[in-house]
Amino acid sequence: MILHDITYEWDGKSKAGEKPISWWPGSYRVKIVKLGEDTKEISYLFPIAVIFKSQKTTQFMNTSLENYIDNFAKKISKTYDLDIDKTLWVELGDKIRIAQLHPERQLSNETLYTISWRHARPNELVMIDPYIKDF
Q: What is the CA radius of gyration of the chain?
A: 15
pLDDT of 21-73, one tens digit each?
Answer: 888 888 899 999 999 888 888 888 899 999 999 987 666 666 779 889 999 99
φ, ψ of residue 85 to 5 degrees: the values are -80, -15
**What pTM was estimated for this model as a whole?**
0.89
